[in-house]
Amino acid sequence: MLETIGLSKSFGSLKALNDIDIKVGRGEVVGLVGENGAGKSTLMRILAGVEQPDEGELRRDGEPIHLSGPLDAGRQGIGLVFQEQSLLLNMSVAENLFLGREAEFTRFGLIDRNKLHAAARQQLAKVGQTIDPGKRVSELAFSERQMVELAKALTLEDRVDRDLVILLDEPTSVLEQAEIDILFARVRALRARASFVFVSHRLDEVLALSDRIYVMKDGAIVGAMPAAEASVPKLHQMMVGHGLHGEYYRENEQRPPAADAVLVARGLGSGRAYRDVDLTLHRGEVLAIAGVIGSGREELIRTIFGFEPADTGTLEVFGKTVVLTSPADAVARGIGYIPRERRVEGLVMLLSIAVNTTLAGLDGVCRRGLVDHARERAVARSWIDRLAIKTSGPDLPCSSLSGGNQQKVVLAKWLQAGSGILILDHPTRGLDVGAKEEVYRLIREVCARGTAVILTADTLEETIGLAHTILVMRDGRVTAKIDAAPGAKPAQVDLIEYMV
């Protein structure tokens, strides 16, 4: 049906995919699992025609094909249901299903609504839905929208006279369990007319739905097996690849944290995202929060930096009860934030390294209330030296730096601001191995000097390797607090037990 032969793709120095061979058979559901950064999304984007491989080829029914865009993929009968839903909320279900094909439903040059709705009803019936085609998408539940997406992917049948391949990229991340069951039932029922590639973070779902499973790690396929022979621990073992190796995370440099608490949360809660969260962060501690998508950990750390205030509970920072209504409040209280979207929220890419270094701590280079440019440059130079930032000078724009060095400038910004608490939101995302090691080294270093860190990491391996203490969250609640002292690190299965 669909296969890839020797696919490779690099982004700069980062090898995202390396020699990928996969096969999707007729009527088969193929599961694709791997940690964040393993290359699943890149592979899906290539199958969808959104990106082109550097090397290797795609074959459809044995014929080599070239996909220059999503439209091309559609012509080859490859449809997509992406995690970020692609429906237009302000339009009706029927209009969404036939977006861009309105010409097929015109009478006297005007759109014939009855004809459009009749065709829409037919499409919806394929996925077992009786939604009113005239309803606006914004009025639908998430599960119904997902069904509409699926129906939309199936409209390819009208135009392509071969079996479809439908890519499901994290389709369950916004769904409740009952809705997931409905979706899975539909996918199974549709196997007669289409094959599926299914990506999910939830391994149990992949096991439940797939016929065959590929395991990815660091841009390569590290395992392939029938679902019947797989299990959650086995898949996880393969995704992680090897046991912990303390040297990588510099466990020998992990010092016990001080006794004084710098941040205490009691009964923190926010809408449906999370509730009843208690946590205590000590000076010099790395407190890692583990959890799958939807566990509430992402929302929790954004609350602690003032992006979205909590509805309930109290927050105490450096001994004072505070209400943080904006990042500016959090920064004023000594909290810094290293975002996952480093190029958007971390740095002003077009401005110089020096300017970015003082973005949060401009007062430190002011003299009588005015910016002292000479002092600013000197400060930037000293951070360039101390953090070993590879650049030819502080006046160059941050866009001239590699990802790892950009991340160091973000760190320098908070160290310059004197933040005693750092929130690290996936700090190694998109970095290559060498740059990751540098980040780990710097985390150890700042903690040894008394900075406290709240970490949400890309992988469990990283979570365990770096943390003093691990909070595990599931469905918005803290399900476990696990000690991770050097030499006595928990195993990944110990965490997974509380995550899923």
Partner 1 sequence: MSAVPSLARWRDAAPALFLAVLVAVITVATPDFAQPGNLLGVLADTATLFVLAAGMTFVILIGGIDLAAHTIASLSSVVVALLLPTLGYGAFPVALAVGFASGLFSGVVHVRLHVPSFIATLATSGVVSGVALLVSDARTISIDAAGRSQLAWITGSVAGVPAVVLIAAAVFLACAFVQRFTRFGRRSLAIGAGEPAAWASGIRVGRQKIIAFALCGTLAALAGALLAGRLSAGTPVLGNQLLLPAIASVIVGGTAITGGAGGIGRTLIGALIITVVRIGMTFVGVNIFAQQVVFGLVLIAAVAVTIDRTKIPIVK
Check residue 370 for interaction with partner 1 (CB under 8 A).
Answer: yes
Smallest distance from partner 1 to CB 351, Å = 5
Nearer Cβ to partner 1 (248/307): 307
Total residues interacting with partner 1, rule: CB under 8 A: 30
Q: Which of 212, 213, 158, 287 is nearest to 34 (CA)?
A: 213
Residue from 6, 326, 378, 483 binding partner 1 (CB under 8 A): 326
Could you tell me how far CA 287 lies from the centroid of its own chain? 20
Smallest distance from partner 1 to CB 203, Å = 33
Nearer Cβ to partner 1 (3/345): 345
Nearer Cβ to partner 1 (130/392): 392
Smallest distance from partner 1 to CB 406, Å = 11
Positive or negative torsion for Cα 387, 392, 393, 399: negative
Nearer Cβ to partner 1 (349/480): 349
Smallest distance from partner 1 to CB 326, Å = 7
Residue from 287, 331, 422, 453 binding partner 1 (CB under 8 A): 331
Please choose, out of 19-27, 336-344, 385-393, 478-486, the segment that lies near partner 1 by the rule CB under 8 A.
Answer: 336-344
Nearer Cβ to partner 1 (413/474): 413
Binding mask 247-286 for partner 1 (x = CB under 8 A): ----------------------------------------
Smallest distance from partner 1 to CB 332, Å = 7
Measure CA of the first residue to CA of the last residue in the chain; give whole Å.
33
The residue behind tokens 């769904």 is: 175
Rounded-to-integer distance, Cα 379 and Cα 106, Å: 66
Residue from 5, 91, 366, 480 binding partner 1 (CB under 8 A): 366
Nearer Cβ to partner 1 (56/327): 327
Check residue 374 for interaction with partner 1 (CB under 8 A).
Answer: no
Residue from 133, 339, 420, 476 binding partner 1 (CB under 8 A): 339
Smallest distance from partner 1 to CB 355, Å = 7
Check residue 91 for interaction with partner 1 (CB under 8 A).
Answer: no
Residue from 89, 228, 371, 388 binding partner 1 (CB under 8 A): 371
DSSP state, residue 467: -
Nearer Cβ to partner 1 (278/363): 363
Please choose, out of 9-17, 54-62, 71-79, 356-364, the segment that lies near partner 1 by the rule CB under 8 A.
Answer: 356-364
Residue from 30, 175, 304, 347 binding partner 1 (CB under 8 A): 347
Check residue 50 for interaction with partner 1 (CB under 8 A).
Answer: no
For residue 149, give every residue at least 6 positions away whose Cβ sits within 8 Å of its Cβ, in sequence order, or none.
Answer: 81, 82, 85, 86, 87, 171
Please choose, out of 101-109, 348-356, 478-486, 492-500, the segment that lies near partner 1 by the rule CB under 8 A.
Answer: 348-356
Check residue 13 for interaction with partner 1 (CB under 8 A).
Answer: no
Nearer Cβ to partner 1 (416/469): 416
Please choose, out of 32-40, 101-109, 291-299, 335-343, the segment that lies near partner 1 by the rule CB under 8 A.
Answer: 335-343
Check residue 488 for interaction with partner 1 (CB under 8 A).
Answer: no
Q: For residues 376-435, which are near partner 1 according to CB under 8 A?
A: 413, 417
What does the H/E/C string look like for the chain?
A: CEEEEEEEEEECCEEEEEEEEEEECCCCEEEEECCCCCCHHHHHHHHCCCCCCCEEEEEECCEEECCCCHHHHHHCCEEEECCCCCCCCCCEHHHHHCCCCHHHHEECCEECHHHHHHHHHHHHHHCCCCCCCCCEHHHCCHHHHHHHHHHHHHHHHHCCCCCEEEEEECCCCCCCHHHHHHHHHHHHHHHHCEEEEEECCCHHHHHHHCCEEEEEECCEEEEEEEHHHCCHHHHHHHHHCCCCCCCCCCHHHCCCCCCCEEEEEEEEEECCCEEEEEEEEECCCEEEEECCCCCCHHHHHHHHCCCCCCCEEEEEECCEEECCCCHHHHHHCCEEEECCCHHHHHCCCCCEHHHHHCCCCHHHHEECCEECHHHHHHHHHHHHHHCCCCCCCCCCEHHHCCHHHHHHHHHHHHHHHCCCEEEEECCCCCCCHHHHHHHHHHHHHHHHCCCEEEEECCCHHHHHHHCCEEEEEECCEEEEEEECCCCCCCCHHHHHHHHC
Check residue 163 for interaction with partner 1 (CB under 8 A).
Answer: no
Nearer Cβ to partner 1 (259/370): 370
3-state secondary structure of 478: strand
Check residue 491 for interaction with partner 1 (CB under 8 A).
Answer: no
**Quick count: other Cβ atoms within 10 Å of Cβ 84?**
8
Smallest distance from partner 1 to CB 230, Å = 41
Check residue 349 for interaction with partner 1 (CB under 8 A).
Answer: yes
Check residue 337 for interaction with partner 1 (CB under 8 A).
Answer: yes
Rounded-to-integer distance, Cα 310 and Cα 270, Å: 5
Check residue 322 for interaction with partner 1 (CB under 8 A).
Answer: no
Contacts to partner 1 by CB under 8 A = 305, 326-328, 330-332, 337, 339, 341, 344-351, 355, 359-360, 362-363, 366, 369-371, 373, 413, 417
